[in-house]
Amino acid sequence: MVSMTRPKIVVLGSFNADLVMYVDRLPAPGETISGRRFATGPGGKGSNQAVAAARLDGDVTFVGRVGIDSFANIGFELWQKEGVKSDYVSRDSARATGIASIAVEESGENIIMVALGANLAVTHGDIDAAAAVIERADVLMVQLETNLDAVEYALRAAKKAGVITILNPAPAVPLPAEMLALADFLTPNQTELQTLTGNQGLSVPDAARSLISSEKQTVVVTLGAQGAAWFRRAGQGSSSAYKVNVMDAVGAGDAFNAGLAVALAEGMELPEALAFAGAAAAVSVTRPGAAASMPYRNEVDELLQRRG
């Protein structure tokens, strides 16, 4: 049954100020090219996912760490505007707010370089401060742009409280099996899946299944223009992508994960949840930016209705 109350979602993750250059094509190593335009705005996988979940009608709390600088103010202004609760975002006097340098080519493909700064200094105390909110949540969502010990600590707290956990392993690094097992839903793209499995040349199904540690765990692999595929010990399935005009793929994965979190928190079954998440990602790629491209609930609902 789908819940009629706003789903409660806690996002532990990163906030970065995005410095975005739009170019005709991505540069080759050692090459200098001219950009068509430049923009500065809010980003970071955690913050993007929190904003998207709020726009999709979630009751969202963001947990993270920023510096004491002008870039941090961009984050607080964003969260206030979007209705994301930021009571548990700490300010770090010793480290700068995270920065992402992004180049986006005309096709929508992109390259991203990140200096994570204060994101890498989240403490167990930061998470303990939000313990009551995590325990009351429907879903906890985490990524890997914060320090891994904090990510694992938050996952353990949520699992202990019976909260659904989503681990978006981006940017991907090898993770211990004990940490992967804490995720009810593991959501890599194909590149991240290879990293998690040690680049063994496995097929997507075999690689995904190698990460599953229990009957209740689900691996959802995002496949870009091919949609997404899900795998459990007891079965598998897929969800096709939506045909839209792609302007900028930055943030598509964040929109997908936020859509999945909201859908699961509302009680949707997995096929319906993946269709909802896919629609959220599809809306996001039709416009530029990271946080700015995150979809609103009415846009996702309209796309789902048009698809039928």
Could you please report the per-residue DSSP string of the chain? ---SSPPEEEEE---EEEEEEE-SSPPPTT-----SEEEEEEE-HHHHHHHHHHHTT-EEEEEEEEESSHHHHHHHHHHHHHT-EEEEEEEESSSPPEEEEEEE-TTS-EEEEEE-GGGGG--HHHHHHTHHHHHH-SEEEE-SSS-HHHHHHHHHHHHHTT-EEEE---S-----HHHHTT-SEE--BHHHHHHHTTS----HHHHHHHT--STT-EEEEE-GGG-EEEEETTEEEEEPPP----S--TTHHHHHHHHHHHHHHTT--HHHHHHHHHHHHHHHTTSSSSGGGPPPHHHHHHHHHHH-
Mean pLDDT of 65-90: 97
Catalytic residue numbers read: 254
Contact 168, 257 (CB under 8 A): yes
Residue 308 confidence class, pLDDT cut points 50, 70, 90: low
Percentage of the chain modeled with pLDDT above 70: 98
Specify the pTM.
0.91
Percentage of the chain modeled with pLDDT above 90: 82
Pick the closest to residue 163 from 12, 1, 4 (CA basis).
Answer: 12
Mean pLDDT of the chain: 94
Cβ burial of 195 (10 Å; 0-12, 13-18, 19+) is: middle
Ordered by where they begin, the domains of the chain are 8-307 (3.40.1190.20)
Does 18 score more than 80 pLDDT? yes
Q: Which of 4-8, 53-57, 223-227 reaches the highest mean pLDDT?
A: 53-57
What are the φ and ψ backbone dihedral angles of 220, each rounded to 5 degrees? -110, 115
Specify the pLDDT at position 4.
62
Does 16 score more than 60 pLDDT? yes
Cβ burial of 6 (10 Å; 0-12, 13-18, 19+) is: middle
pLDDT digits (tens, 9 = 90+) for 191-229: 999 999 997 789 999 999 999 999 999 999 999 889 999
- The token pair at 80 is 């206030």
